[in-house]
A and B are shown apart, each in its own frame.
Chain A
Amino acid sequence: MRMDRAERIGTGVSAALHIAVIVWAIIGTSLFKPKPTEPVEIKPAGMISEAEFAALQAAAPKPGEAAPAQPEEPAVAEPAPEVPSPEAAPETPPTPEPPPAPEAEPMPDMTDLTDPTPPTEVTEVPPSMMPPVEEPQDTEAPEFSPRPRPKPASRVAPIPSEAPEPDARVSPTAVAETRPDPEAEPEAVQEEPTEEAAPPEATTEIVTEATETEDRATTSAPRTSPRPRAKPPVPRPAPVQTAQPAQPARPAPAVPADAVADALAEAMGDDRGAEDSPGGLGIAANGPPVTAGEKEALVVDVKQCWNVGALSSEALRTSVTVRVDMEQNARPIIGSIRMVGYEGGSEAAANQAYEAARRAIIRCGSDGFPLPAEKYGWWQQIEIVFDPSKMRMK
């Protein structure tokens, strides 16, 4: 069978290509194979002996060799700084970075630093010719509450503020004028019963946790004081509508046995509280003793105003005992406040701690303490121990 010319050519090309592929497979892969990745050179980290290290150190140039003589004292404040000689610079680490091209720097002004005399002269200012200090009168003082204000709420008001009424427009149709009929009975206004409730606390800005987190991103240290927070205030007992005694009357000797037991419990430090005792058969002229709950209300009231934020560390380690005489309206007699004892710090620290305690009594006592008026005989003098040990920085 004869092949025509075209078939012969095709057969020849095919044979040549197959031969070329076979030759490439045999020779080319060995000649042009990809270079393998150079392996990472890993050297074991070994320990060298002290002697070897000393030998290495000895072989290294010594700083004394590099600068054998005591270097010339550089003019510290000269405008043109000296440049260390490259020859003198040792090659062993730590080698300082080559100094950049010196720039002209002005001579430092040392006049303020070099003045040996204290720049200030301190003298006492004579007392001013002021009139005697007057106690603030209730009638003069504007209505305010010096007590700590509640913190702003951290959420937005749920009810948006009311939109203003739209501007009046001219009606397209005329409306006949009317007059109110004077004889007509006014319709009884039906007042819907409103539920008396304090509106929820609200503010105009939402502080999200992300915001706080972002703020804290730079530090994980506690941003708040590790000291304990004050407990929420206990509501004051309702004012007692009883007549005030003309004079602070002492309890009558004849008191019920339960009241005496309460008194004994109080005197002996029993925390049981008078309210836990069974009721008595009668009340003395001043009433029963101050109960544990009433004491707690007083504690909560005073501690709201006891600010130790500006006290020294030593004052925060000092416990002071303060005694104060009370008026019948449960307000402290400011002139009677005195420190009767302290412990844990120096006298100076105690005085600082006492001042903070005194401010607390005056601030929170200005509105009167939450004390039952009928028991005035029991609290006409109060002794308070201010102990900041739980609040101090450790």
Chain B
Amino acid sequence: MATAPDIDASANPLDIFRAEAREWIASNFPPSLKGKDNAMSAVEGPHTNSPEEDAWQKAMGEKGWGVPTWPREYGGGGLSRAEARVLQEEMQRAGAWNPIGGMGVMMFGPTLLEYGSEEQKREHIPAIAKGTVRWCQGYSEPGAGSDLASLQTFAEDHGDHYVVNGQKTWTSGGQWADKCFMLVRTDKTKKHEGITFVLCDMDAPGVEVRPIQLISGSSPFCETFFTDVKVPKSNRVGQEGEGWTIGKRLLQHERSSLSGGGSTAGRMFSGASLGQIAKKYVGVDGEGRIADADLRARIARHEMDLRSFMLTLRRTALEAKSNQGPSAATSIMKNVGARIMQERSELLIEIRGFAGLGWEGEGFEEDALKDVRTWLFGKAVSIYGGSTEIQNNVIAKRILGMLDHQ
């Protein structure tokens, strides 16, 4: 890469910040970690950091740049949105990546900053900003999936604390989380208004975690059982009965982070393009085209879908930047991201034939084995975080103004 032109420090505050960010990244980001983003490892399993990864996480944690726009007083970077964009550009330029992630950053932190008490923010936000405490989400229950508000886990009032009993499921990373933010019922007579948002230590007596094995063979989700678990009232966020409002706000953060699916999906697959892989497995005709015309047309259709999605991501980002307010197009992101990821997986299998259906053992390329597991795990993407059907309900009701079924 060519050396960037020198920046005239007198020009513009953003340019000054750019120079500062560039210099800081250059002196803190270990070059050996270039392009080795381990963001997904937190989802896939308990990841042991290398010394370089540790050093990078510590540097970013102390600087607060893992959560660049969060207030500096709670350990965030205190940057403006414009500065955060510059930081991201400079990170990309250097091949650096954000080592601070997980549910604390994506969902819980922003929600606590909005609804938490001063004590709660001081207690929890700095640890999230440093990446030292892992959070999991206690929302879904066996009988409360798409209809989340029908949740039954009950928190009984015992004066200065609650006693919680019930079962949560699909607890992502529950087996290696330190703490759990969860929705519990404090009033059985009201549906939505009977829900309260509380925080629980995963090592509290009475919390039991059982990993769920998925069709992909991995177990990123758990069933979590709560038996007479004491939760101090100081761990309640907001008032009793406010849990649904707070919990829904958190889901907005979850959906906006999941809708980046297209760009992260790209990283989850092997490097070569579908067209190149198809040429290798299917062969080419006399003019160098994929020998299977039917498949070739469907690959082109898929790539066009992906390109339209990327352009939509860019358009909504530009619209948000120019303060036109959030675009209606943001509502389609999760569904389109899931669709593209799943279709890509299915196409890869079709292209590779039996070589794309290996489960384990000899005779398969490493990429192909990985893509099989991604294909199977990818079936979850249109189910978790609000299924495709629920997202379509949201589009129909909130964007299109259609009537509720009930």
Q: Is this pair of chains taken from one and the same complex? A: no
Q: Which residues of A contact B (CB under 8 A)?
A: none
Q: Which residues of B contact A (CB under 8 A)?
A: none
